[in-house]
């Protein structure tokens, strides 16, 4: 562990925060003295005042000799490079190397790690989730059983999560793991 350095992770919303807390924070904790997850909302980028706030936060992370990761969904952007450029235009002081783009949305990472026992219990075939990179929120919602609400289903996925399966089913998750954890 690097005891003198922490990491700040800026994530879009509550589903992203839950995923990072349950799946990735324990892994990052072995490399950093602290892991601090900060949730932002995409709508905040409509305000110049909020953009300045994130620019100032990033400057403070760097000045205090800590690492940071800015996580965003690719959404409808044509490619990762375009999305990183867009973020860099909006937030001054951000280093594009510290921007992680989730393909397509965080729900794709949740489903990518589904263990075989979880899939069989909920009638999900391997072919349905062999590549989750194009999975949208709407696609994800179709997997949720009627007797579950969305949050409970996501929590169950984190309890039955395989890092190795997720890396095989989602290249952006594999990229994140290679860059920050392995």
Question: Are residues 81 and 25 located together in one domain of the fold?
Answer: yes
Question: Could you tell me the residue range of the domain that residue 160 belongs to?
Answer: 105-169
Question: Are residues 21 and 47 located together in one domain of the fold?
Answer: yes
Domain count, the chain: 2
d(CA 23, CA 71): 15
Question: Are residues 42 and 80 located together in one domain of the fold?
Answer: yes
What are the tens digits of pLDDT across the range 68-99?
Answer: 999 999 988 999 999 999 999 988 889 999 99
Domain boundary residue, one of 80, 102, 124? 102
d(CA 176, CA 169): 13
Adjacency order of strands within the sheet including 7-11: 35-39, 7-11, 67-73, 99-102
Question: Are residues 13 and 43 located together in one domain of the fold?
Answer: yes
Q: What local confidence, expressed as pLDDT, does residue 49 receive?
A: 61
What are the tens digits of pLDDT across the range 90-127?
Answer: 888 899 999 999 999 999 999 999 999 999 999 999 99
Q: What local confidence, expressed as pLDDT, does residue 105 receive?
A: 94
At residue 15, φ and ψ (nearest 5 deg) are -65, -40
Question: Are residues 7 and 53 located together in one domain of the fold?
Answer: yes
Structure tokens at 164: 């190795």
């Amino acid at each position: 562990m690097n005891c003198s350095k922490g990491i700040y992770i800026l994530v879009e919303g509550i589903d992203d925060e839950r995923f990072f807390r349950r799946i990735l924070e324990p892994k990052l904790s072995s490399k950093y003295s602290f892991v601090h997850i900060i949730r932002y909302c995409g709508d905040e980028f409509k305000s110049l005042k909020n953009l300045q706030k994130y620019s100032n936060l990033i400057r403070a992370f760097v000045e205090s000799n800590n690492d940071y990761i800015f996580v965003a969904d690719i959404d409808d952007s044509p490619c990762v490079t375009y999305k990183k450029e867009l973020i860099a235009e909006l937030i001054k002081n951000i280093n594009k190397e510290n921007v992680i783009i989730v393909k397509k949305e965080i729900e794709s990472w949740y489903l990518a790690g589904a263990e075989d026992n979880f899939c069989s219990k909920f009638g999900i075939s391997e072919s349905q989730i062999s590549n989750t990179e194009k999975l949208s929120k709407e696609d994800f919602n179709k997997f949720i059983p009627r007797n579950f609400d969305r949050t409970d289903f996501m929590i169950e996925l984190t309890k039955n999560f395989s890092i190795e399966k997720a890396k095989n089913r989602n290249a952006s998750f594999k990229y994140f793991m290679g860059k920050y954890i392995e």
